[in-house]
Amino acid sequence: MTKNNIKPSTQRGVSVFKTISKHRLFIPIAFLMFLLLLNIFIKPGFLRISLGRDSSGNPVLIGNLVNILNNATELVILAIGMTLVTASSKGQDISVGSTIAIVGGVIMRVLCGNETQPTELKAPIILAFLLGCLAGMVCGAFNGILVAKFKIQPMVATLILFTAGRSIGSMAMGGLKPKAVSSFGYYGNFIPGFPIPTPILITILVVAITYIALKKTNLGLYTRAVGINDRSSRLNGLNPAKIKFMAYVIMGFCVGIAGFVQSSRVQTVNPYTIVPGIEMDVILAVALGGNSLGGGTVNMAGSIIGAYTLQTLTSMLTTLNVNTNAVPVFKAVIIILLVAIQTPAVKNFFSNKAKVSKIISNQGKESA
Amino acid sequence: MKKMISLILVVMLMLSLAACGKDSKTTDKKNKKLTVGVVQTNANESDWRTANTNSFNKAFDEAGFTIKMVFGEGDHAKQISQAQQLIQEEVDYLVVLGLQSAGWEDVAKAAKEAEIPFIMADRKLDLSEDLYTAMVCSDFEEEGNKAVKWLKEQALDSYKIVVLGGDTGSSAQLGRSKAIEDGAAANGWEIVFNQNMKGWDETLAKQAVADLIAGGTEFNVVYAQNDNMARGACDAMDAAGITYGKNGDVKVIAFDANKWALEKVLAGEFNLDVECNPLHGPRIVKLINQLEAGETVPKNAYVDEEMFDCDTITQAIVDARSY
């Protein structure tokens, strides 16, 4: 009797778990939670956030979580653009890191002119920001034309800027390596008197705009349609070339914002070493978010969570003082684990196991 | 039509071959301007590198050499193929500043077969002595040892050291890391963090130090393997309200000694900056002139390098610095 009473409730529990685990955001969120829990387990003070003061006496928030949210900014913003690019053009833009070098070069040239240690800004910051975004969008448009109009594979098309971008950035700076005055640093650090790092606020703004754009416009739907089937979307009155081109220009805009934040962090840009290898991290963030790299899915929230997951991993490797030679291996092992869980082979294996155990338990009941 | 085109092609091919033969026959080493191939790391990697590149261009220009400078841009394999390309172009001298110290044997052998003197500059490469002609390098381990010696003289109550390394595998990173690791082991100091930052850059160093502070790691020495990373570390400590430098809690040690960094030493923000001299151009020119004159040159020459302490540095030293 009692057995019968319990049975439906556990079944309901199982089914709730099933619906949760089937949600498209379940695996990305589970990864992030897993990493955070691992961190807390290793270093119990991991989540602690304290209010400190910087050397000028301004209040600032200090904590690993703040650092992760802060340092993931570029990754998150780029992942948003990359999701659209991946979904519509069935390929990735590998030129984002090099384009950031171009954006950074333009911004530094506008702010510093031809001096290496200018005592004042040569132009308003807003002008530098706008020109930086423009540079990013021009690069995006270049990639977009190659992909949408000339139908070159995205990875090949963006290989051009991937190869040349850092040199172009260096040329934009006139071969100098200037450092701008510290007031330019507000956008990559703190606004004096306000304890939350500015990049976090910028991230919130960009994510909010993206959310509204996906809710209120057909951006997501059209992008997905083009990515799933180019020809049928044209038959339905869409212009695939235009939508792909748009995705690359939006990517360029995202690169502009990310480049602005990045160059503001230390108020100087080194085109050859800025954001080393970020292209692969961004693509990985998109993949961890449950998006198909073959196009046709727009799981924006997943990509954003994927970006935070990667930053958590980076931060973790620092705080744990992993041996420097082992860092890439450590990172690779965790990423392989994360990706492997998502593959159909592993999923099927677990669901089959669940089925088998269910059958066995049912058989057990019948015989009893 | 087809025959016509193939005929033209054949004629052109013959002409170009003839041109080749003529060129190599009339090459007279004494009358020709010397061509020196330089395999540089990156054009704009750091202020140090910019000064280094400018030094080569200026000195070679004054000496009347033709310079063929190529940049590896962070890619070790690219550097090797560029060096091989220069050997095929039959430059008269090959100067290599390697991104990584390993893997240069084939290039050195090819240069030897082509009878092109192979000169290592800036960073020592892993080559046996018979494979290269001369070396003008910084002794990175010695630089690190100077810093370790200075650190020992400070007689701190405890040593908790954060090591911010440069590009993994470069001889600068290997030498400077080895010095501090050996020094710490010999003196019983604790290294609380030791990782290499990709690309010698401010941003990654800053993020790493910020993460350490947030994670509650205590430290009182920052051993940053170049000026830029030291600046990044200082930015992170500024943001957390940790004092550093002459009157602060954390000792900051930097390497390279650029002009702006010496200004920071003078201002008491860095405690120590160990010089790494980038002005290789005139030294290489002198070396090449000696080789041309048939003189014997020292095989392994190390550059003289100083260090600058915030207690002893003067305005005059900063003003005298050109880069």
Q: What is the pLDDT of residues B118-141, one digit of tens each?
A: 999 988 888 888 899 999 888 999
Nearest to B200 among A170, A273, A327 (CB): A273
Whichever domain contains B261, its CATH number is: 3.40.50.2300
Residue A3 has pLDDT above 50, yes or no: no
In a domain, A21, yes or no: no
In a domain, B301, yes or no: no
Q: What is the pLDDT of residues B251-272, one digit of tens each?
A: 999 999 988 999 999 999 999 9
Q: Which residue of B has its CA nearest to A326?
A: B195
Q: What is the ipTM of this complex?
A: 0.86
Q: Do B44 and A170 touch (CB under 8 A)?
A: yes
pLDDT of residue B229: 94
Question: Which chain A residues are closer than 8 Å to B239 by Cβ?
Answer: 54, 60, 189-190
Q: What is the pLDDT of residues A344-355, one digit of tens each?
A: 787 777 777 767
Question: Which chain A residues are closer than 8 Å to B238 by Cβ?
Answer: 54-56
Nearest to A324 among B165, B211, B217 (CB): B165
pLDDT of residue B251: 96
pLDDT of residue A365: 58
Residues B108, B129 within the same domain? yes
Structural domain boundaries, residue B189: 140-276+309-320
In a domain, A308, yes or no: yes
Q: What is the pLDDT of residues B29-67, one digit of tens each?
A: 455 788 999 999 887 667 788 888 989 999 999 999 999
Nearest to B240 among A52, A170, A324 (CB): A52
In a domain, A19, yes or no: no
Q: Do A62 and B214 touch (CB under 8 A)?
A: yes
Structural domain boundaries, residue A128: 58-342
Mean pLDDT of B224-243: 94
Q: How far is A67 from chain B (nearest CA, A)?
A: 7
**What is residue B157's DSSP assignment?**
S
Residue B246 has pLDDT above 80, yes or no: yes
Q: Average pLDDT, whole number, for chain B?
A: 88
Q: Which stretches of chain B are assigned E, i.e. beta strand?
A: 35-40, 66-71, 93-96, 118-122, 134-137, 160-165, 190-196, 221-224, 251-256, 272-275, 300-302, 307-309
In a domain, A16, yes or no: no
pLDDT of residue A160: 95
Question: Which chain B residues are closer than 8 Å to A61 by Cβ?
Answer: none
Q: What is the pLDDT of residues A284-332, one digit of tens each?
A: 999 888 888 888 889 999 999 999 999 999 888 888 888 888 888 888 8
pLDDT of residue B25: 40
Residue B16 has pLDDT above 80, yes or no: no
Q: What is the pLDDT of residues A226-245, one digit of tens each?
A: 999 989 999 999 999 999 99
Residues B252, B180 within the same domain? yes
Higher pLDDT pick, B315 / A9: B315
Residues B134, B149 within the same domain? no
Question: Which chain A residues are closer than 8 Å to B228 by Cβ?
Answer: 270
pLDDT of residue B23: 46
Residues B108, B180 within the same domain? no
Mean pLDDT of B205-214: 94
Residue A84 has pLDDT above 90, yes or no: yes
How far from chain centre, in Å, is Cα A158? 18
User: What's the rounded Cα separation, in Å, for the pair B217 and B180?
Assistant: 19
Q: How far is A144 from chain B (nearest CA, A)?
A: 26
User: What's the rounded Cα separation, in Å, for the pair A205 and A221?
Assistant: 22
Structure tokens at B280: 């290789």
Residues B265, B160 within the same domain? yes
Q: Do A265 and B203 touch (CB under 8 A)?
A: yes
DSSP per-residue letters across A137-204: HHHHHHHHIIIIIS---HHHHHHHHHHHHHHHHHHHTTT---B--GGGGGGTS--TT--S-HHHHHHH
Q: How far is A189 from chain B (nearest CA, A)?
A: 8
Residue A86 has pLDDT above 80, yes or no: yes
Q: Do B195 and A272 touch (CB under 8 A)?
A: no
Q: Which pLDDT band, with edges at 50, 70 and 90, does A8 fall under?
A: low
Percent of chain A with pLDDT over 90: 58
Residues B282, B263 within the same domain? no
In a domain, A28, yes or no: no
Residues B178, B133 within the same domain? no
Residue A208 has pLDDT above 80, yes or no: yes
Q: Do A54 and B238 touch (CB under 8 A)?
A: yes
Nearest to B196 among A52, A190, A324 (CB): A324
CB A21 within 8 A of CB A342: no
Q: Which residue of A has its CA nearest to B210?
A: A67
Best residue in B42, B44, B53 to probe A by mutation, most A CBs within 10 Å? B44
The total number of structural domains that make up chain B: 2
Residue B107 has pLDDT above 60, yes or no: yes
Q: What is the Cα Rg of chain A in Å?
A: 24
Q: Which residue of A has its CA nearest to B231?
A: A266
Q: Average pLDDT, whole number, for chain A?
A: 88
User: What's the rounded Cα separation, in Å, for the pair A217 and B4?
Assistant: 62
The total number of structural domains that make up chain A: 1
Residues B122, B179 within the same domain? no
Q: What is the pLDDT of residues A49-82, one digit of tens each?
A: 999 898 888 999 999 999 999 999 999 999 999 9
In a domain, B171, yes or no: yes
Nearest to A270, CA basis, from A108, A74, A117: A108
pLDDT of residue A367: 54
Mean pLDDT of B11-16: 64
Q: Are strands B134-137 and B118-122 parallel, antiparallel or unpaired?
A: parallel
User: What's the rounded Cα separation, in Å, for the pair B109 and A249?
Assistant: 49
User: What's the rounded Cα separation, in Å, for the pair B75 and B41?
Assistant: 8
Whichever domain contains A173, its CATH number is: 1.10.3470
In a domain, A10, yes or no: no
Residues B57, B165 within the same domain? no
**What is residue B197's DSSP assignment?**
P
Q: Are strands B300-302 and B134-137 parallel, antiparallel or unpaired?
A: parallel
CB A190 within 8 A of CB A60: yes
Question: Which chain A residues are closer than 8 Å to B43 by Cβ?
Answer: 167, 170, 175, 272
User: What's the rounded Cα separation, in Å, for the pair A190 and A69?
Assistant: 13
Mean pLDDT of B173-179: 94
Neighbouring C-beta atoms of residue A52, cutoff 10 Å: 18
Question: Which chain B residues are closer than 8 Å to A261 by Cβ?
Answer: none
Nearest to B213 among A53, A56, A62 (CB): A62
CB A218 within 8 A of CB A285: no
Q: Which residue of A has its CA nearest to B173?
A: A324
Residues B183, B313 within the same domain? yes
In a domain, B7, yes or no: no
Q: Do B46 and A315 touch (CB under 8 A)?
A: no
Question: Which chain B residues are closer than 8 Å to A189 by Cβ?
Answer: 235, 239
Q: What is the pLDDT of residues A111-159, one digit of tens each?
A: 998 887 888 888 999 999 999 999 999 999 999 999 999 999 999 999 9
Residues B90, B158 within the same domain? no
With both helix axes pointing from N to C terminus, report the angle between A300-319 and B202-214 in degrees, rounded to the nearest 10. 80
In a domain, B45, yes or no: yes
pLDDT of residue B13: 64
In a domain, B24, yes or no: no
Q: What is the pLDDT of residues A261-282, one digit of tens each?
A: 999 999 999 888 899 889 999 9
Question: Which chain A residues are closer than 8 Å to B196 by Cβ?
Answer: 324
In a domain, B27, yes or no: no
pLDDT of residue B28: 47
Question: Which chain B residues are closer than 8 Å to A56 by Cβ?
Answer: 238
In a domain, A131, yes or no: yes
Residues B206, B251 within the same domain? yes
In a domain, B261, yes or no: yes
Nearest to A190 among B196, B207, B239 (CB): B239
In a domain, A1, yes or no: no
Q: Do A167 and B73 touch (CB under 8 A)?
A: yes
In a domain, B18, yes or no: no
Nearest to B225, CA basis, from B188, B182, B180: B180
